[in-house]
Amino acid sequence: MGPLSGVKIVELAGIGPGPFAGMLLSDMGADIVRIDRAGQVNPAAFDRQNLEPLYRGRRSIGVDLKHPEGVDLVLRLVESADALTEGFRPGVTERLGIGPDVCVARNPKLVYARMTGWGQEGPMAQAAGHDINYIALAGALAHFGRAGGKPTPPINIVGDFGGGGMFMAFGVVCGILEARQSGQGQVLDVAMVDGSAVLMSMMWGLMHLGAWSEELGVNVLDTGAPFYDTYETKDGKFISLGSLEPQFYAELLARLGLADVGLAPQMDRTGYEELRTRFTELFKTKTRDEWNAVLRGSDACYAPVLTMREAAQDEHLQARGTIIERNGVQQPAPAPRFSRTRPEIRHDAPWPGQHTDEALHDWGLTDAEVDKLRESGAIV
């Protein structure tokens, strides 16, 4: 069992970063009951398998949160939970009757984790938004792109999953550890805009040192340096270079046959245009596989640029079991890895309401109580 075995969490169903946080916590062994709204339970959809890895590892119960007994059921689960996670706009769970004040009154040790894009307070708190907006305001999006171009969204990895889901999971574990020492729970305000800003911490430090420009695409790490970039190969595929340190850069030049051609010193920007031109032309003379034979596994800091399906077939990732398959569904394996309390995926992604009876029994309800809730329409 994973290192969070024995931890119990109630997850109010949401999309994107909320389920991602739940996946991280359940991968580590937490027993998570996902509360899906009864109206989302569609029996007609059961003719196919649920394929979404973000929802793996936990069980789902269908609850009518507009039914008084449905609300009371959630509060009863809260009484024995270590944490509750939700991803609604500020004020929604209060209107449902399951806000932090009510829940903490039922369980003073509860960690009540709330995740939004803009945060629980501030002028933007009630506004709609998505990853692209959060990382834009946080000062992150402005630095993804090439010189002369426009900022390019790094899909929704930075805001939703980095600034949101991972900070939610981290905050929940921190909160539970503190509650076990103090005997008191607390409310977590997880804002994707805050987390995205934290992910830029190193760049803030570099800027204060005069080593980072706010101009797009001119810094060493944002494609401003030709030795930290991607290049197209003869077969229309791409490779990546990250030869930052002098010894790694020297290794790269030696393997490319450029060690003795009179290039400018590595950090001399006056030589970047010539170097980029040489790299661009040179990498188009061989296929990606041919460059693998020259550079892969060396200290040149090189890797082929792989698609998801290609990554699943890569020999290194296969050796580590980084991409696994469950019931025909390819997905990343739990990470990080522990030597003793090994994480595992205990359940495939559930259908909404799939485990209503099973989970409620395990969380302390009797058969008679479950039957009564079903008859009233509070659960499905």
One of 27, 31, 131, 160 is an active-site residue; which one? 160
Q: Given 67, 72, 130, 229, which residue is catalytic?
A: 130
CA atoms within 13 A on the CB side of 53: 15
Give Cα separations from 375 to 82, 260, 350, 357 (angstroms).
29, 82, 23, 13
Residue 130 annotated as catalytic? yes
Distance CA 128, CA 124 (A): 8
| Nearest to 256, CA basis, from 231, 288, 278 | 278
Q: Is 222 a catalytic residue?
A: no
Structure tokens given for 329? 């569904």
CB-count burial class (<10 Å; 0-12, 13-18, 19+) for 295: buried
Residue reference for tokens 């062994």 = 29
What are the start-end ranges of the H helices in the chain?
17-27, 68-79, 92-96, 100-106, 131-137, 167-182, 192-199, 201-208, 246-256, 272-283, 288-295, 308-313, 315-320, 356-362, 367-376
Burial class (CB in 10 A: 0-12, 13-18, 19+), 257: exposed
Catalytic residue positions, numbered:
130, 160
